[in-house]
């Protein structure tokens, strides 16, 4: 699993050709890519790291407060293109991305685990064509991956 994490002053998701709109003010926009081998271990790893990482300023220091300490909202958006490979040819390859029918379950389980940990989250619509707007604060962006948990055999 890859989580592209952006600290934002605001983020908004609109589903193209729909009335669906989701938005947050100060918080994190988390774009989630799901690998074909992802499972509950990947979900737990990413959620546990998100809880403890320091993304926000505090006491005059950068990166001093976690999302729990700052009590911010999270915007979680599925983005299979994070597992797109661009090394060969002229079109991206998505062979490492999980099939949508399975990835939706992992995405929903990830969102549910965040909620169970007490986080306030907003989401996009899985598999929909979305328009994502954000104002990156800093800019601060990080990539958190659970790929190192996979068996390399």
Residues tagged active-site: 79-81
Paired tokens of 90 = 């002229």
CA angle 5, 8, 12 (to 5 degrees): 95
Strands 27-33 and 73-78: parallel
Q: Concatenated DSSP letters for 9-26?
A: EEEEEEETTSS-EEEESS
Rg (CA), the chain: 16
Contact 8, 27 (CB under 8 A): yes
Residue 148 CA, chain-centre distance (Å), reads 17
CA distances from 38 to 72, 82, 151 (A): 27, 14, 11
């Amino acid at each position: 699993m890859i989580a592209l994490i952006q600290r934002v002053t605001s983020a908004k998701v609109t589903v193209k050709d729909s009335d669906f709109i989701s938005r947050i003010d100060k918080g994190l926009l988390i774009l989630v890519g799901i690998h074909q081998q992802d499972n509950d271990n990947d979900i737990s790893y990413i959620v546990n790291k998100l809880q403890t990482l320091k993304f926000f300023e505090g006491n005059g220091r950068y990166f001093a407060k976690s999302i729990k300490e700052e009590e911010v909202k999270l915007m979680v958006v599925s983005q299979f293109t994070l597992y797109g490979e661009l090394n060969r040819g002229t079109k991206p390859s998505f062979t490492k991305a999980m099939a949508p029918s399975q990835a939706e379950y992992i995405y929903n389980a990830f969102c549910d685990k965040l909620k169970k940990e007490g986080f306030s989250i907003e989401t996009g619509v899985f598999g929909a064509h979305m328009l994502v707007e954000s104002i990156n604060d800093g800019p601060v962006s990080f990539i958190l991956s659970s790929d190192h948990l996979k068996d390399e055999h």
